[in-house]
Amino acid sequence: NKQLIFRDYVTGLPKESEMYVTTSTIKLKVPEGFHGVLVKNLYLSCDPFMPIRMSRVTVNGFSSYTPGAPLTGYGVAKVLDSRHPDYKAGDFVWGITGWEEYSLITPTEGLKSIEQGLKKIQHTDVPLSYYTGLLGMPGLTAYAGFYELCSPKKGEYVFVSAASGAVGQLVGQFAKLLGCYVVGSAGSKEKVDLLKNKLGYDDAFNYKVEHDLDAALKRYFPEGIDIYFDNVGGKTLDAVLLNMRVHGRIAVCGTISQYNVHQSEAVQNLACLLFKRIHMVGFAVLDHHHLYPKFIETVLPYIKEGKIVYVEDMVEGLERGPAALVGLFSGRNVGKQVVVVARE
Ligand code: NDP
């Protein structure tokens, strides 16, 4: 059983040199007395929250990592053997699994917390890898964050940062389906082209070449922004605050620009919240798992009709996992970053 291990707790951002692959032999059977399943991992999801779980500190229900154990995170797997009444060999599942070829898991249906829950995949007529992104945790994040927290209306002006990523690319498409005007920011020309030519954004810009983000936003939103879906925090948020419209909404989904700094950059323009009566709210997808059935019901038809597309960045093999995970924090991924362990 090939496994990807971290040498120690992670401080700051993870480095490739902190991870290594080991191989051991295991029996492909659920041991007696273990009321769970043995799965073969197929697709592993690289998510920005993962290093937070691997730090020494326990934050907000994320359990801390045990150095020497394989990394854990979301993934898609196939059940090989089961001693749990709800699962049988041959079932496809998604949820928290190990960064290894095979994992023994105690499933708790429903994904009640990040630590528990293996969902049976009911719809296998779409790419199974989608359950790491589009139909998994990032998809639900985009859905809950946009529809539930931003109160979007047709014709509104929407801005999305990290717009081509796992969450961002879907937020933009949801906003377009509703008839909003949507602009995204991303960190390269390739991503900007993707946003405009494949993901349906009305416009997009590369924030790395804009020296004055306030001026850039004024160019793209001469009438101001109604909704900001914030994936990055920091300077971008500060510039957005200056460009929000009265009664605008900001969903704080992530602050990836701040994950690598010892002290978060101060946001200077918070007074705009008051002057413009902005509703700004942070959220965690963990609180919105009850929406999953509704989300699937909404999104599956769009996928089948080709009204929603999804860009994935697949790397093959656990050995390439460290580079893929680390790459999230420099924007190396183009679309949802997935590590393929096996295809079936
Ligand atoms: P992405 O697929 O968007 O990958 C991360 C992207 O972040 C990179 O590709 C890069 O894109 C961008 N990025 C990296 N460093 C910086 C930086 N310093 N400044 C600006 N952008 C940066 O990841 P996800 O879609 O999975 O996650 C997006 C955000 O949503 C993250 O902040 C994540 O933590 C958060 N999140 C929150 C959840 C919740 O429950 N609230 C659940 C899931 C995710 P680029 O090249 O465009 O810079």
Q: Give the chain's domain count.
A: 2
143 and 126 in one domain? no
Per-residue DSSP letter, 67:
T
Residue 217 lies in a domain: yes
CA distance 8 to 24: 20
CA 87 / ligand 1 centre spacing (Å)? 33
Residue with tokens 């295991």: 26
Q: How many Å from the N-terminal Cα to the C-terminal Cα in the chain?
A: 16
**pLDDT-flagged residues of the chain (< 50):** 110-112, 114-115
Residue 303 lies in a domain: no
CA 31 / ligand 1 centre spacing (Å)? 39
325 and 185 in one domain? no
Residue 300 lies in a domain: no
What would the pLDDT profile of 274-287 be if each residue is shown by its tens digit? 999 999 999 999 89
pLDDT value at residue 114: 47
CA distance 298 to 146: 14
Write the single-letter amino acid at 150: C
Structure tokens at 81: 């053997």
215 and 120 in one domain? no
pLDDT value at residue 110: 47
CA 89 / ligand 1 centre spacing (Å)? 35
Probe residue for ligand 1, chosen from 44, 74, 167, 311 as the CB with the greatest number of ligand atoms within 8 Å? 167
Here the CATH number for the domain that contains residue 75 is 3.90.180.10
176 and 119 in one domain? no
Per-residue DSSP letter, 124:
-
Q: Does the ipTM exceed 0.90? A: yes
Residue 305 lies in a domain: no
pLDDT value at residue 66: 78
Q: Going by CA atoms, what residue is nearest to atom 35 of ligand 1?
A: 254
Q: Going by CA atoms, what residue is nearest to atom 32 of ligand 1?
A: 254
Domain that holds residue 48: 2-133+311-340
- Provide the 3-class DSSP secondary structure of residue 164: coil
What would the pLDDT profile of 71-86 be if each residue is shown by its tens digit? 889 999 999 999 999 9
CA distance 117 to 111: 4
Residue 16 lies in a domain: yes
CA 180 / ligand 1 centre spacing (Å)? 22
pLDDT value at residue 101: 97
Structure tokens at 19: 């991870």
CA 47 / ligand 1 centre spacing (Å)? 8
Here the CATH number for the domain that contains residue 180 is 3.40.50.720
Probe residue for ligand 1, chosen from 232, 285, 291, 332 as the CB with the greatest number of ligand atoms within 8 Å? 232
Structure tokens at 54: 């691997």
Nearest atom, ligand 1, residue 332 CA: 9
CA 107 / ligand 1 centre spacing (Å)? 28
239 and 316 in one domain? no
Q: Going by CA atoms, what residue is nearest to atom 11 of ligand 1?
A: 331
Residue 63 lies in a domain: yes
Residue 242 lies in a domain: yes
CA 230 / ligand 1 centre spacing (Å)? 9
Nearest atom, ligand 1, residue 258 CA: 18
Residue 118 lies in a domain: yes
126 and 147 in one domain? no
57 and 7 in one domain? yes
129 and 162 in one domain? no
190 and 142 in one domain? yes
Name residues contacting ligand 1 (CB within 6 A). 47-49, 138, 141, 162, 165-168, 186-188, 191, 231-232, 253-254, 256-257, 283-285, 328-329, 331, 333, 336
15 and 122 in one domain? yes
112 and 26 in one domain? yes
Nearest atom, ligand 1, residue 336 CA: 2
Structure tokens at 136: 């998994």
281 and 144 in one domain? yes
